[in-house]
Amino acid sequence: MPELPEVETVVRDLRPLLIGRTLQGVRRSAHALRKTWSAEWEPLLTGQTVAALHRRGKWILVELGGGAFLMVHLGMTGQFTVRAADVPGETHTHLVFPLDNAHELRFRDVRRFGSVTYFADRPTWETFLSDKLGPEPWDMDPNAWRAILSVTARNLKAVLLDQTLIAGVGNIYADESCFAAKLDPRRTGNSLTAAEANRLLTEIRRVLTTAIESRGSTIRDYVGGSGLMGGYQDEFRAYGRTGEPCLKCKTPIECIRLAGRSTHFCPNCQR
DNA sequence: CCGACGTCCTGCTAGC
DNA sequence: TGCTAGCAGGACGTCG
Tens of pLDDT, residues A116-155: 999 999 999 999 999 999 999 999 999 999 999 999 999 9
CA A125 to the chain's CA centroid: 17
For nucleotide C9, give the residue with the nearest CA to its C1': A1
The length of chain A in residues reads 271
Estimate in Å the CA A41 to C1' B13 gap, whole number: 40
Q: What are the residue ranges spanned by the domains of chain A?
A: 4-130, 142-265
Confidence band, pLDDT 50/70/90 cuts, at residue A1: low
**pLDDT above 90: residue A52:** yes
CA-wise closest residue to A60 among A112, A135, A9: A9
Q: pLDDT (tens digit, 9 = 90+) per residue, A65-93?
A: 999 999 999 999 999 999 999 999 999 99
Average the pLDDT over A207-230 and give the result: 88
State the helix-helix crossing angle for A4-18 and A194-213, rounded to 10 degrees.
Answer: 40
Residues of A acting as catalytic residues: 2-3, 58, 261
Domain A142-265: assigned CATH number: 1.10.8.50
Q: What is the mean pLDDT of chain A?
A: 95
pTM: 0.97
Q: Please name the residues in contact with A161: beta carbons below 8 A apart, sequence gap of 6 or more.
A: A169, A170, A171, A174, A259, A261
**pLDDT above 80: residue A221:** no
pLDDT on residue A125: 97
- CATH assignment of A4-130, given 1.10.10.10, 3.20.20.80, 3.20.190.10, 3.10.180.10? 3.20.190.10
Largest CA distance in chain A: 59
Q: On chain C, which bases lie within 7 A of the protein's CB atoms?
A: 7-12
Evaluate whether A4-130 and A142-265 have a shared fold.
Answer: no
pLDDT on residue A226: 85
Closest nucleotide to A77: CA versus each C1': C9
Estimate in Å the CA A136 to C1' B15 gap, whole number: 41
Average the pLDDT over A218-246 and give the result: 88
Residue pair A90/A29 in contact (Cβ under 8 Å)? The answer is no
Quote the CA–CA distance of A215 and A39 in Å, as a whole number. Answer: 34
Average the pLDDT over A190-214 and give the result: 97
Bridge pairing between strands A59-64 and A254-258 = unpaired
